[in-house]
Structure 1
Amino acid sequence: MAQRYASALFELALESGTIDAVEADLTRFTALLAESEDLTRLVKSPVFAAEDQARAMSAVLDKAGISGLVGNFVKVAANNRRLFAVPGMIVAFRAMVARHRGEVTAEVTSAEPLSDAQTASLKDALKAQLGKDVTLATSVDPALLGGLVVKVGSRMVDTSLRSKLNSLKIAMKEVG
């Protein structure tokens, strides 16, 4: 379902030449979700009626200055009781945009937010390794303790401190 909605949004953005604007609005919407637990609850909870979700989302989008394709997209999702799937739709849309641009998306999880310098360095290293431009989808998981987990397609590199400690724990059990 997320793929279908994202595909429809991508086709509309491509036809109207507004891929960059749509991507920017989706980034703003994602930031709103990250900043507000109440908004996340509204999006994910099946308790709210479709009309209530649509009305609330309309107000949030207007206040955030998100209109056009993305505004209509989120409102349609709310009216169709698919608001809970919007984050997945955004991920699918970004993957389509990356393919369209000839980019590869790398999912990067770190123990702490990456600095701009670290992000640039990681992008450069991945571009040198893959031979393509790389878009990073970053997330933070303090349970990693340190290091990174990088996923590109079906490949994963886990340099997290948590994994290293687990490996050490297993090795110590085998010795004992």
Structure 2
Amino acid sequence: MKNNAATAEISQPYAQALLSIAQSNNLTDEFGADARTLISLLSGSQELQNYLDNPFIAPENKKNLLKQVVGEGANPYLRNFLLFLVDRRRIAFLEPILEQYLALLRQLNQTVLAEVTSAVALSDAQLQQVKEKVVAITKAREVEVSTKIDPDLIGGVVIKVGSQVIDASIRGQLRRISLRLAN
């Protein structure tokens, strides 16, 4: 289990270095898309995460696997960065590094991340309404939406932007009514 403070301390400089490479080559958005893809790969495959985390697997084997995963069509700067992480024995921190990179990219683009939890999948029109509401609240240029489904909400949505939470769910309304009745 990785310590969160140590993970943040290790991932921050690498994420900033990746952003610097991306900015100097005008590839910030391309790297952002690749980072999202890699994060979903890592979070979706525990075997891949375990393989990269294992200190007993030879670095060359890890490099070969990464070359296969990203493919020949991948950006050479990003591929070299991944191989560099293997050389520096920091590949186990790939996911936090990529998440930190996305946070830095959002900051650079004046974009906020809105985590939307709903009882059922939202339509495109509903997601657009959520984005407009978040832009109105935060005055950000753009909104990146991360959605989750939680049937326990019964209906409505819970929107989290940074430390601010907007609970417009039926479960939240029932909880507030219960608290008022208890008083």
Task: Give the one of 160, 175, 179 matched to 1:151.
Answer: 160
In 2, distance between residues paired with 1:38 and 1:114?
31
CA distance in 2, matches of 1:144, 1:71: 41
How has the CA–CA distance of structure 1 residues 141 and 53 changed in structure 2, closer, same or farther, with 3 Å as cutoff? farther
Unaligned segments of structure 2, at least 5 residues: 1-9
Q: What does residue 128 of structure 1 align with? A: 136
1:142 and 2:119 are equivalent in the alignment = no
Considering only aligned residues, what root-mean-square deviation do their CA atoms show, in Å?
3.0
CA distance in structure 2 between the aligned counterparts of 1:66 and 1:82, rounded to whole angstroms: 20
The answer to whether structure 1 residue 28 and structure 2 residue 4 are counterparts is no
> Across the two proteins, how many residue pairs are aligned to each other?
172
TM-score for the superposition, normalised by structure 1: 0.75
Matched residue type, 2:135: K
- Taking structure 2 as the reference length, the TM-score comes to 0.73
What is the aligned counterpart of 1:90 among 85, 95, 98?
98
Task: Indicate whether 1:39 and 2:63 are aligned.
Answer: no
Instruction: Output the amino acid matched with 2:106.
Output: A
Q: 2:117 aligned with 1:109, yes or no?
A: yes
Q: Shift in Å at residue 28 of structure 1?
A: 2.5
Equivalent residue, structure 2, for 1:76: 84
- Unaligned ranges ≥5, structure 1: none
Alpha-carbon shift at residue 80 of structure 1 (Å): 3.1
Q: CA deviation at 1:74?
A: 2.5
CA contact (8 A) 1:108 1:136 kept: no
SS of equivalent residue, structure 1 residue 159:
strand
Q: SS in structure 2 opposite 1:135?
A: strand
Using the alignment, how far apart are the partners of 1:9 and 1:151 within structure 2? 27
Letter in 1 for 2:83: K
The secondary structure found in structure 2 opposite 1:156 is strand
Q: 1:100 aligns with which of 91, 97, 108?
A: 108
Cα 1:57–1:164 change in 2 (3 A) is farther
Q: Percent identity?
A: 28
